[in-house]
Amino acid sequence: MIAKHSGILYAIAVALGCLCGYGEFLQSVTEFISNVFMKIFKCVSLPIIVVSVIVSLSQQSSNSRLKQIGKYAFLYTAATTLLASSVACILYTLISPSNVTSVIGGAPANVVRDGKYASYVLDIIPSNILSPFLEHNVMGALLMSIIIGIAARYMPDSESRSVNNFFKMIQGMFLIIIGWVVKMLPLALFGFVAGAVAQLKNGIGMKGLGEYLSIVLLSNVVQGVMVLPLFLRAHKINPLKTLKAVFPALSVAFFSKSSVGTLPVTLETAENNLGISKEISRFVFPLCTAINMNGCAAFIFTTVVYVMQNNGIESNWFTLLQWIFISTIAAIGNAGVPMGCFFLSMSLLTGMDVPIDVLWLILPFYAVVDMVETSLNVWSDCCVVGIVDKKFGVDAKKLG
């Protein structure tokens, strides 16, 4: 019922936004709403990314066997997520989507004006611990969070758990705030859509938007149908039997759009249908649910590069490679909140002062994208757990 009402509110917000934007009604009001929510997004998005990455990387177990299992699971999670970003990069290069319109806003000062990508990369390294937050340097904050998260793992177990619990409390607080922001999203959507329509009413290239969506969806399909099965085959696990066994979980993931909500079904199907040992499934699945985001990585890469392109920022192979790694890290640290990938992409773009008008053209299609992404994430979780169980599960039944 809540989801139904949210959908109705979103539809009303989009309709009113289009009406006001096209007719330029209430222009000052819609601009004020847009500016308010842009400040809110900037304020909340960076802390939630930082604490999520730290929590994901600092998780520690005093059990030496579980430590080994966790490291193995994290290795495959990072590998599959990196490949998901790489697949998106290859498809983006091959399809080469056209813009939805001409350059919408001014070029971001620190990316395009001087044209020096090397100096921009140098700016990622913060001069002090507060500068990434004061300057809203998303990639500098990501670098710091990775270092802090990994360093916490090398601390004694009791201290490592204290660090992890501290950042979990901060994460929980910001997740509550994010929940409040999501409830106000229809109002934000009204303001942003009105602004976008006002700027884009001279002509929108729907072909470009269709090409962008095809890259996002194809990236998920290629990852799920080709890349992940190759991982299973390499470990002598039958992909078709595995897919058939976990299909109930994938179905729930598709319609619920929540890998966390699907977790009970995923655990049951993996243990009963695949014969995964409970020791493996009940430790690795929650870990994968938190950090294994193949679909999110593909979405972040494609979306950030496409929005930058629409704002006149040319991407070369160096910047594409840079965004492969950034989208991988961001996806691993993605918080389990509604529209998490969308918020992450928005944060990365606003951190570089890139106008995000194009994001509001993408938003109406995000529900479908989210369904496919969630299914891919759960399918990837099942593949990683199957591979880990093949190595560490003593009494588990194996699919050959």
Taking only the tens place, the pLDDT of each residue in 184-226 is 777 877 776 776 676 666 555 567 888 999 999 999 999 999 9
Residues in the chain: 400
The pair of three-digit structure tokens given for residue 1, joined into one six-digit string: 């019922």
> Which of 84, 64, 117 is CA-nearest to residue 294?
84
CATH code at position 270? 1.10.3860.10
Q: Look at residue 36 and tell me if it is in a domain.
A: no
Q: Look at residue 400 and tell me if it is in a domain.
A: no
The pair of three-digit structure tokens given for residue 18, joined into one six-digit string: 């289009």
CA distances, 314 to each of 107, 115, 119, 305 (Å): 11, 10, 16, 9
Q: Look at residue 330 and tell me if it is in a domain.
A: yes
Q: Look at residue 337 and tell me if it is in a domain.
A: yes
The pair of three-digit structure tokens given for residue 277, joined into one six-digit string: 């040992």
pLDDT digits (tens, 9 = 90+) for 66-99: 677 878 888 888 899 999 999 999 999 999 888 8
pLDDT digits (tens, 9 = 90+) for 231-266: 999 999 999 999 998 988 888 788 767 776 677 788
pTM of the shown model = 0.70
Domain that holds residue 240: 64-155+204-392
Q: Look at residue 346 and tell me if it is in a domain.
A: yes
Q: Look at residue 1 and tell me if it is in a domain.
A: no
Instruction: In whole angstroms, give the CA distance from residue 252 to residue 271.
Output: 17
Instruction: In whole angstroms, give the CA distance from residue 217 to residue 291.
Output: 21
Q: Look at residue 54 and tell me if it is in a domain.
A: no
pLDDT digits (tens, 9 = 90+) for 345-365: 887 787 677 887 788 778 778
In the chain, the number of structural domains is 1
Instruction: In whole angstroms, give the CA distance from residue 218 to residue 274.
Output: 28
Asked if residues 375 and 369 have their Cβ atoms less than 8 Å apart, the reply is no
- What is the structure's pLDDT at 85? 93
- What is the structure's pLDDT at 110? 43
Q: Which whole number is the average pLDDT over 109-119?
A: 45
Q: Look at residue 341 and tell me if it is in a domain.
A: yes
Q: Which whole number is the average pLDDT over 131-138?
A: 70
pLDDT digits (tens, 9 = 90+) for 271-298: 888 888 887 887 788 778 777 789 899 9
